[in-house]
Amino acid sequence: MHNVNGDRLIATFLDLVKIPSPSWKEHALIGYITGILKGLGIAYELFPCGESFNLLARMEGTLPGKPGIALSCHMDTVAPCENVKPLATKSRITSDGATVLGSDDKAAVAAFIEAMRVLRESGIEHGPLEFLFSCAEELGLYGIKGFDLSNMKSRFAFVFDSGGRVGRVILEAPYHTTIEVLIKGKAAHAGMEPENGISAIRVLSDILASIPHGRIDAKTTANIGLITGGKATNIVAEEAWAKIEVRSLDRKRVAAVEAKIIAMVKNKAKKAGARAQISRRLEYAGFSLKRTSAVVRRATNALMSIGAKPVYESSGGGSDTNIINRAGIKAVNLSVGMMQVHTTREYILIKDLVDSARLALALVTE
Ligand SMILES: [Zn+2]
């Protein structure tokens, strides 16, 4: 029924990973994808975003009245991703060890292209389809955040951007906020009059050693990720800065942990006679889907139809899925088989690459 051409799919994937596409530098990859779309006679639009573009391809439905769905992935890859030399055996594809492979998320790009080719050549009936290829996902979902999702007509979206074997269905992902703390103390000569200074580094250290950190509960984490401060050893540091993130599947827990951190910063700065500038930002909202929801049921049915066993999980990380859900399109994140991503040991099993394309096809023809 779903006749994915495995050799063609692998060839496309190998082409894709050889095209460098760091975040904001997806232009060559966009050229490759749009070349294929043109050849297939599939309409598309490029939406400028930062230094790059988001790409939306649309296929009209052949079944009148059938509601449309969207498939979504991202085009950028994490460093090191220049000069990728993929090595394919009978069962898996890796890089040569000097770079990432880029199956995150080019396995999805390849799967979507294969699904479109099969639709075009087989004449299988389908509803209206949208294929979204976002840019700059890896830097913090910048592509999808810079895209007006009202351009999309679909009520459901299937994001192909999760790791592990095909079959994983991500039902929930966290809220993620960041807090920047700037402590302003008082400079003084460190040798001649240290008693006249207030060390911002000392105050910040005390704060950072006290705030909630690491795994806080089953749904909540916090991390101090960046820190700078001071100018020289002979100056009592006037300024020190840190950036902290808080994540939780539970919105209220994010707010509670944030409030605790902010209160501790204010309190400790005040006690030390320093000033604190605090800014916080919601990086993205979380989402939570029920197994019985329509979008998850469709994913489940499609997985069963290709003989894959659905495994339902929650994620500690964000993806374009968070933003698409926030915009009112029900979206679920599905695994494409990418393994050990964001490392030079990244690989994908050929079975999973093929299953990803079969899954895309099953979703659009269900
Ligand atoms: Zn990804």
Q: Give 103-116 pLDDT, tens digit per residue.
A: 999 999 999 999 99
- Residue 151 DSSP label: G
| Least-confidence region, from 119-128, 190-199, 328-337, 353-362 | 119-128
Is-catalytic flag, 137? yes
pLDDT number for residue 366: 81
- Give the mean pLDDT of 282-311: 96
pLDDT number for residue 295: 97
For 175-284, give the CATH class.
Answer: alpha beta
Band (pLDDT 50/70/90 cuts) for residue 1 is low
Band (pLDDT 50/70/90 cuts) for residue 13 is very high
Condensed to tens digits (0 to 9), the pLDDT of residues 234-248 reads 999 999 999 999 999
- 3 CB-side CA count, 13 A: 9
Residues 6+ apart with CB under 8 A from 121: none
pLDDT number for residue 2: 61
CA of 162 to the centre of ligand 1 (A): 7
Q: What is the mean pLDDT of the chain?
A: 96
Condensed to tens digits (0 to 9), the pLDDT of residues 202-234 reads 999 999 999 999 999 999 999 999 999 999 999
CA of 346 to the centre of ligand 1 (A): 12
pLDDT higher than 90, residue 64: no
**In which residue ranges of the chain is CATH 3.30.70.360 found?**
175-284
pLDDT number for residue 226: 97
Q: How many angstroms separate the Cα of 50 from the Cα of each of 81, 133, 327, 363?
A: 20, 15, 20, 31
Condensed to tens digits (0 to 9), the pLDDT of residues 289-301 reads 999 999 999 999 9
pLDDT number for residue 66: 86
CA of 122 to the centre of ligand 1 (A): 30
CA of 354 to the centre of ligand 1 (A): 18
CA of 203 to the centre of ligand 1 (A): 38
- What's the CA gap between 64 and 42, in Å, rounded? 18
Band (pLDDT 50/70/90 cuts) for residue 65 is confident
Residues 6+ apart with CB under 8 A from 48: none
CA of 176 to the centre of ligand 1 (A): 17
Q: Which amino acid is at 285?
A: A
User: DSSP per residue over 61-109, as a string?
Assistant: -SSTTPPPEEEEEE--BPSS-SS---EE-SSEEE--SSS---HHHHHHH
Is-catalytic flag, 76? yes
- Give the mean pLDDT of 59-82: 94
Catalytic residue among 105, 114, 137, 346: 137
pLDDT higher than 70, residue 51: yes
pLDDT number for residue 43: 98
CA of 293 to the centre of ligand 1 (A): 24
pLDDT higher than 90, residue 3: no
CATH 3.40.50.2000 fits 6-173+286-365, yes or no: no
- Give the mean pLDDT of 147-170: 97
- What's the CA gap between 331 and 171, in Å, rounded? 9
CA of 265 to the centre of ligand 1 (A): 34
Residues 6+ apart with CB under 8 A from 259: none
Catalytic residue among 76, 105, 161, 238: 76
Query: Coil, helix or strand for 149?
Result: helix
pLDDT number for residue 87: 97
pLDDT higher than 80, residue 20: yes
Share of the chain above pLDDT 70, in %: 99
CA of 277 to the centre of ligand 1 (A): 34
CA of 170 to the centre of ligand 1 (A): 13
CA of 138 to the centre of ligand 1 (A): 7
Band (pLDDT 50/70/90 cuts) for residue 256 is very high
**In which residue ranges of the chain is CATH 3.40.630.10 found?**
6-173+286-365
pLDDT number for residue 289: 97
- Give the mean pLDDT of 84-96: 96
